[in-house]
Structure 1
Amino acid sequence: MTITQLYYVLAVAEHKNFTLAAEKCFVTQPTLSMQIQKLEDELDVLIFDRSKKPILLTEVGQKIVNQAKNIVNEAGRIKDIVDQQKGYIGGEFKVGIIPTIMPTLLPMFLTNFISKYPKVNLVIEENTTEEIIQKLKNGHLDCAIAATPLEEENIKEIVLYYEPFVAYIPDTHKSFDKKEIEVSDLDLDRILLLQDGHCFKNGILNLCKNNAYINENHFQIESGSFETLIKLADEGLGTTLLPYLHSLDLNEKNKVKLRQFKNPKPSREVSLIYPKNELKIHIINALRDTISGVVRGAIAFHDVEIISPKAAK
């Protein structure tokens, strides 16, 4: 039994196809199939039911996969131990960031991090929260930045900052003249939201439901970007909520339409999340320190009420 064989088994278990798994492992399909067959012969069991389409794990195969994940992860820790002992911070490091955080946070820390840690090959991708959770569990991401708490088993969360919701209210709205607002001041039958798949939408729905003002059926217009929501609001089609950092990028004309909520300000908790096996923890800590250093000066709210990013059940 080898680590490579277990790695191939995990690939087939994930992709449910030998050819695709071989492509992802950068080997030929016969090579991958032969190594898995050798492992099955050695163990005298079938790990995969090849008669099914897509390929399925057998009952014992599922148990083997669960254990193989632990073994492959722990094997990866050996290189981590050596790197940390040498004080080496480098190599490929994959980070996922949710779409409502990526445009504002990434430009704040990326140049700083690259300059400080030039040996790290940072690979950044934009993913939804659901995609991030799955990729962290499958080992396809080293860490991610997302709205929390997620309360996912085997995933750790380190809070980076708290980001308030900010209301965007057109000048024709009844609450435009108020300096600070409450949820009840919004026209909740005409809230403009991001499309499904964005946890920021879940946060707004949870905020409104927490305050017992509305149910989800009242929300009508949805869009894929904050910029579109702002334009719709300017056309008199409703109001919307933005993340605080996103509101900083608006032009002066639009900033006049922003309103903060009264304390405690409804906010999202933004965290660095990573698997509990803590692979590459030295790079994770370096990323955390870099982000905390640049964000501290831009956002410092303390009297906040954390709104869950999880969809209400």
Structure 2
Amino acid sequence: MTITQLKYVLAVAQYQNFTKAADKVFVTQPTLSMQIQKLEDELDVQIFDRSKKPIELTETGKKIVNQARNIVNESDRIQDIVDQEKGFIGGEFKIGVIPTVMPTLLPMFLANFVNKYPKVKLRIEELTTESIIDSLLDGSIDAAIAATPLKNDFIKERVLYYEPFVAYDPRLSGKPKTKIKVDEINVDDLLLLEDGHCFKDSILNLCRNSRDTDGERFMLESGSFETLIKLADEGLGMTLLPYLNTMDLPEHKKENLRFFEDPSPAREVSLIFHKSELKMQIIEALQNVITGVIKGAIAFQNVQIVSPISGK
């Protein structure tokens, strides 16, 4: 039994396909299949049910995968210890980013980071919060940027910044730019992101009531803030935006923005990682770069954090 064989097993368990798994671990499909078959022969068990499409783990295979994940993580820790002792900041680093943060934060820090740490090979993937948690727990990503707190005992969080919510309502254009109160927001008048976005859950938690669809002419949920802004421009309602999403709006559209009274409702955006704390030298480097560039854009402190967890 080898660490390499266990890594192959984990790859097939994740992708449920031998060809895809082979691509991800950079070997040919026959090589990967042969090594897994050798492991199954040695253990005298079937790890995968190959008759199913997609491939599924057997009941014994599920237990083996859980233990294999622990073994592979601990083996990675050995190299991690050596890298930290040498002060080496490099190697592959896989990071997940939630969709409502990716387009605004990534352009702010990515070029700076890759220039400062050229030996780090960042692999960035846009993932929902639910997928991020699963990926951190199974070791398929090293860290993530997400709205917190997540209240997960296996995940550690380092706050990067607090991002206020800002109302976007073209119906207020030309009116005095007074700050608004949370209790003035009617959730039934809101254009929301679709299910799966933690920002939608934050907004519903903020308004503390559920959408009443009985009297509505239509119900629409979108996957992008750009669509919500265009719909609001057509007079179909209002929406709430994270502060960074308002910075690049044209000046005439900024007239439609209204800030909340202090303490402003906001989301907490954090760098999160597994409690095993692998690759901490890269995590700390990433944190330092992001907090360094974000200070000039967001300086809000008097905020009230709204939970990103549904129903909280």
- TM over 0.5, yes or no? yes
Query: In 1, are the aligned partners of 2:182 and 2:207 still within 8 Å (CA)?
Result: yes
- Does 1:29 pair with 2:29? yes
Q: How does 1:93-108 map to 2 (within 5 A)?
A: 93-108=93-108
Aligned partners of 1:84, 1:178: CA distance in 2, in Å? 52
1:140-169 deviation line (CA, Å, top 9, x unaligned): 322111111222342221111111111112
User: What's 1:216 paired with?
Assistant: 211
Percent of aligned pairs with the same residue? Answer: 67
User: What's 1:251 paired with?
Assistant: 250
3-state DSSP of counterpart to 2:235: coil
What value does the CA root-mean-square deviation take over the aligned residues? 2.3
1:238-272 deviation line (CA, Å, top 9, x unaligned): 11101011112212212222111112211111000
1:63-95 deviation line (CA, Å, top 9, x unaligned): 221111011111112221222111111222222
Q: What one-letter code is carried by the residue in structure 2 that aligns with 1:215?
A: S
Query: In 1, are the aligned partners of 2:93 and 2:123 still within 8 Å (CA)?
Result: yes
User: What's 2:299 paired with?
Assistant: 300
- Write out the 4+ residue segments of structure 1 that deviate beyond 6 Å after TM superposition: none
User: What's 1:155 paired with?
Assistant: 155
User: What's 1:134 paired with?
Assistant: 134
Query: In 1, are the aligned partners of 2:156 and 2:275 still within 8 Å (CA)?
Result: yes
| Structure 1 runs not aligned, ≥5 long | none
Shift of 1:53: 4.1
1:157-208 deviation line (CA, Å, top 9, x unaligned): 11111111111122458x9535111123234322111222221111111111
Distance of aligned partners of 1:50 and 1:123 in 2 relative to their CA distance in 1, 3 Å threshold: closer
Q: What one-letter code is carried by the residue in structure 1 that aligns with 2:111?
A: T
| Structure 2 runs not aligned, ≥5 long | none
Distance of aligned partners of 1:57 and 1:184 in 2 relative to their CA distance in 1, 3 Å threshold: same
- Does 1:112 pair with 2:115? no
User: What's 2:41 paired with?
Assistant: 41
Aligned partners of 1:125, 1:19: CA distance in 2, in Å? 21
User: What's 1:165 paired with?
Assistant: 165
User: What's 1:201 paired with?
Assistant: 200
Aligned partners of 1:273, 1:188: CA distance in 2, in Å? 30
TM-score by length of 2: 0.90
User: What's 1:74 paired with?
Assistant: 74
TM-score by length of 1: 0.89
Give the aligned length: 308
Query: In 2, are the aligned partners of 1:172 and 1:236 still within 8 Å (CA)?
Result: no
Aligned partners of 1:160, 1:230: CA distance in 2, in Å? 26
Shift of 1:41: 3.0
Query: In 1, are the aligned partners of 2:187 and 2:210 still within 8 Å (CA)?
Result: no
3-state DSSP of counterpart to 2:150: coil
Query: In 2, are the aligned partners of 1:170 and 1:176 still within 8 Å (CA)?
Result: no
Aligned partners of 1:284, 1:308: CA distance in 2, in Å? 24
Q: What one-letter code is carried by the residue in structure 2 that aligns with 1:65?
A: V
User: What's 1:63 paired with?
Assistant: 63
Query: In 2, are the aligned partners of 1:143 and 1:273 still within 8 Å (CA)?
Result: yes
3-state DSSP of counterpart to 2:191: strand
Shift of 1:115: 2.4
Bigger CA drift: 269-278 or 14-23? Answer: 14-23
